[in-house]
Structure 1
Amino acid sequence: MKIHFLFLLLGYAVATRIDKKCIQHPRIQNRVKPCRNPQVPELIPNFAKFLPQTSSWTSDLCSMVAMALLGEYEMMDVVLLEAGLCHTDLEAGPLTRNKLSRVFPFDQQLVILQLNGSNLVEALEHGIDQFHFHELPEAYPRVAGIQFHVDLSRPYGQRVSDIDILQHGCRWERISPDKTYLVLTNEDIARGGYDYSALARYQSLTPIRHTVAEAFWIYSETVCDVVDPMRRKTHQAAPQSCVSPPINRNMTSFA
């Protein structure tokens, strides 16, 4: 009885302290203000074609986000995200900020990594290994600007093959182990989240101004009627003589 009373008393004291002191801090006020003054959700009405019914880890949602980011940041060679970045389903229909906040409940800063081809292959190998052999579906690499083949029967380091990088938005070229590529990713795995230690070892990390959710929203505002963001990049950047390659939404094939 005394222990229960003590817990209640301490809980009341902590609650009182938070209400009277912490809540006045400007940073707390900025976070609380939107909740006190809810606004009508902003909405992109023409997004229905762009959004089939998609779910987080097991569908193309994060692949679609990756392709949208490559469309927004066209100077990047590759976009690499982990499937766990998307926390929930995104239903078909108009896109609102409220929907987006449920998919990305945490602010994930976008960062640029400079990786050579062998580093990039190592990161893909690691993501596939964590996904399949460590039963961590959130670690699966969702990508854009790169395609590859996976053979899960082979040993670690040999499972990912036939890796191609999309060049100038119009043709696939085999990855070069020594060439440096600009890789857009989220800060979590760039710093080793989901055991992406292959990325955490490299210090050429450059943060950019937008989070994943912000960049996806900005892109969707301008290209809401485009089903495949890669197609927009191809149409804008490719010369007339360039033949657009077939686009695989998953950018991955399995043996």
Structure 2
Amino acid sequence: MKFEMRRSHVSEVKQELIGVPSPHGFESPSSWISRAALSQGVRVGELLHYFGASRLGDFDMGLSQKKAQVIADTCGISIIHFDFSLKMFSTLRSIDQTGRNFLLAFDERYGRYRYCPGCLHHQRVKHFPLHWRFKTWRFCPIHQCLMEDRCLHCGSNITLSADMFHSGPQKKGIAFLDRCLRCEQKLSAHWEKVQGLTAEDLLDDEAMHQLLVGRFILSALYHGHFFMKKSDRITKRKLSEILGLMHLGGTDRDWVGIDNRELLRRRTARAGYPVED
């Protein structure tokens, strides 16, 4: 399908596309637009152009209430599906206009994501939740493992929004987002090996503190404030102070050398077995 129709007024918008999937749960806008473009057999840029949006900007950060309403009406889906992402990224823009301090960036058009192999394995609809793009979200509390930073098969970064229709090693397309868009291998193939690693006392207290503060920061973004204990008092703090909290918790620093492979090595060494180089 090639899009040729354009609209001049929001009031004229009505459902014009068929078969577009709804955003799933806490799915990020960039993940959804990738799946939506595939459902229509077009590139992401072509679908965004049809919606009157630009491919040049960050779709996660740039999605507004007005744009979301046009998209929802055109696709015949409820705008309620965008409520969570609109709230999170709107709050983020209020303290970090570009998202540079909080988001895993790749370039001006694509965002970089981490992923939990356990979540990707169990999802009925394969997608990337928006919190997987945040720097501070470093482990999955459901599957108790560190987030993966790249494809373990080819080493490529995970970036969205993506042209799934023309991805893969021979550009023949990728049907589901649990597959690497470069090499087509399954991102979640090792989920059973890493499940439960962060619950096995393989990380020191400082590292565990960083993991917990990272979750706390996303909760603060959602609620628009956070609480801190000082002496015997618990005080409500403004969201603008959260950058200081990131520094205090160490979540603004990179974890060089600490990933699920390192935790697997530590588990093996603790059990008394030789560790492979």
Q: Same fold (TM over 0.5)?
A: no
TM range (shorter): under 0.3
The two structures have a TM-score, normalised by structure 1, of: 0.26
The structure in which a higher percent of residues are strand is: 1
The two structures have a TM-score, normalised by structure 2, of: 0.25
Where relative contact order (Cα < 8 A, 6+ residues apart) is larger, the structure is 1
**Larger of the two Rg values belongs to structure:** 1
